[in-house]
Amino acid sequence: MKRPPLTPIIAAVPLAIVGVFVVGSSWLAPDATNQDILTGATPPGTSGHPFGTDQLGRDIWQFALAGARSAVVGPIVIALGSMLIGLVLGTIAGYLGGYLDLLLSKYADLLLALPTTLIALVVAGLVDGGYWVTVLVLVVLFSPTDIRMARGAVIAQSTQPYIESARVLGLSRFRIMFRHVVPNVLPIAFTTMLLNVAFALVAMSALSFLGFGVGPGTPDWGRQLSDGRNLIGRNWGAVVVPGVLIIITAVSVNLLGDWLQERYEQRGVQR
């Protein structure tokens, strides 16, 4: 009997738990934002608070559960938006070629040369943007990788016999690109999207840690990590809990993305 692959199982279990946190945070942690100033910061193991409380008396674990939605939804939107931009522009550049390919390639090279987190930090500061403005900025900054990936995959597909058959049948270039080429590029685009989720999670958490993206008092792992810096001496859980959640989620998404990419490459070799 063939054993199931271990890597996707190891990655899927924590991701499933985080998914439950994201979907059910309102039920799992209904009192996450409740404050108790008189209690203040307490160490882990305090009655009713397994990881203690922060300086405002909020339960560390419940606040982390509530912060899963803000920490995870944004990166998923960033990765999906970046993938869609990459598929459209990369397919056009790779299939049509010419000056349009040159223009889009230079656009991607320009954005790749920019430091993503620093540019997002500057733009968010200039426009005084909130959470979704930061997400939009990161969608644009993450798109060059997907554009180059899609472009390379489309160029490789353009030489396949089924493309020549479609041209002989007189199908339009638009139909060939988006009805025949794109479905064959989607597997690698999906694996790249998963890797981008991990990168976006770290980037969004870093921006929240610096005070951008989410507002003060909003449940978010990056913001909670920033607020807990001054509590290390009184309650190490204020830093460890959000930090561990960020690391586990990012590593799990990376493992799953790498595994899917290896599977895709192996299938390509077998063909």
Total number of domains in the chain: 1
Given this model, what pLDDT does residue 87 score?
A: 93
Q: What is the largest CA-CA distance in the chain?
A: 78
Handedness of CA 195, 144, 89, 177 (dihedral sign): negative
Q: Read off the pLDDT band of 221 (50, 70, 90).
A: very high
The answer to whether 167 and 252 are in contact (CB under 8 A) is no
The answer to whether 54 and 235 are in contact (CB under 8 A) is yes
Q: Residue 268: pLDDT above 70?
A: no
Q: Residue 205: pLDDT above 70?
A: yes
- Residue 34 belongs to some domain of the structure: no
- Residue 42 belongs to some domain of the structure: no
Mention every residue, 6+ apart, whose C-beta is less than 8 A from residue 43.
52, 234, 235, 236, 237
Mean pLDDT of the chain: 87
- Residue 39 belongs to some domain of the structure: no
- Residue 170 belongs to some domain of the structure: yes
Which domain does 193 fall in, by range?
6-24+48-270
- Residue 40 belongs to some domain of the structure: no
Give residue-wise pLDDT tens across range 155-188: 988 888 888 888 888 888 888 888 888 988 988 8
Angular region, 168: left φ>0, alpha ψ -120 to 50, beta rest? alpha
Alpha-carbon distances of 194 from 25, 29, 147, 189, 216, rounded to whole Å? 23, 27, 15, 9, 29
Give residue-wise pLDDT tens across range 63-82: 999 999 999 999 999 999 99
- Residue 161 belongs to some domain of the structure: yes
Give the CATH number, domain containing residue 61: 1.10.3720.10
- Residue 14 belongs to some domain of the structure: yes
Selected residue with higher pLDDT from 125 and 16: 16
Residue 190 CB coordination number (10 Å): 15
Q: Residue 270: pLDDT above 50?
A: no
The answer to whether 242 and 64 are in contact (CB under 8 A) is yes
Given this model, what pLDDT does residue 138 score?
A: 92
Rounded Cα distance between 89 and 93, Å, is 6
What the block records as the tokens of 2 is 């063939």
Rounded Cα distance between 160 and 225, Å, is 50
- Residue 220 belongs to some domain of the structure: yes
